[in-house]
């Protein structure tokens, strides 16, 4: 998290203090943006599909 170093363009106070609506909006947006938040839903679905396919392939080969 680096948002505590950000300075608001609207009120020139640290965004982490949330002094104005612009601060609070930026803070909420930045708190939601982690490296995993954008990746997780789709990446997990793809990973699960790949795993299921691999297991099915292995089961088919060994059976
Ligand atoms: Zn502000």
Q: What is the pLDDT of residue 32?
A: 75
- If asked whether residues 19 and 5 sit together in one domain, one would say yes
pTM tops 0.85: no
Q: What is the pLDDT of residue 12?
A: 93
- If asked whether residues 1 and 28 sit together in one domain, one would say yes
How many angstroms is it from 16 CA to the middle of ligand 1? 9
SS (H, E, C) 1-52: CCHHHCECCCCCCEHHHCCCHHHHHHHHHHHHCCCCCCCHHHHHHHHHHHHH
The residues whose Cβ lies within 5 A of ligand 1, an ion, are 8, 10-11, 20, 22-23
Cβ atoms 34, 16 nearer than 8 A = no
7 beta partners: 14
- If asked whether residues 5 and 23 sit together in one domain, one would say yes
- If asked whether residues 6 and 27 sit together in one domain, one would say yes
Task: Write the pLDDT tens digit of every residue in 10-56.
Answer: 999 999 899 999 999 988 887 776 665 556 778 889 999 999 999 99
Residue 62: domain span:
38-63
Q: What is the pLDDT of residue 34?
A: 62
How many angstroms is it from 57 CA to the middle of ligand 1? 55
How many angstroms is it from 54 CA to the middle of ligand 1? 50
- If asked whether residues 28 and 50 sit together in one domain, one would say no
Q: What is the pLDDT of residue 33?
A: 65
Number of domains in the chain: 2
How many angstroms is it from 29 CA to the middle of ligand 1? 14
């Amino acid at each position: 998290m680096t948002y505590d170093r950000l300075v608001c363009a609207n009120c020139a106070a640290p965004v982490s203090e949330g002094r104005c609506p612009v601060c609070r909006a930026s803070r909420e947006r930045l708190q939601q943006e982690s490296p995993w938040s954008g990746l997780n839903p789709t990446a997990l679905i793809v990973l699960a599909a790949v795993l299921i396919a691999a297991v099915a392939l292995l089961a088919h080969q060994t059976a």
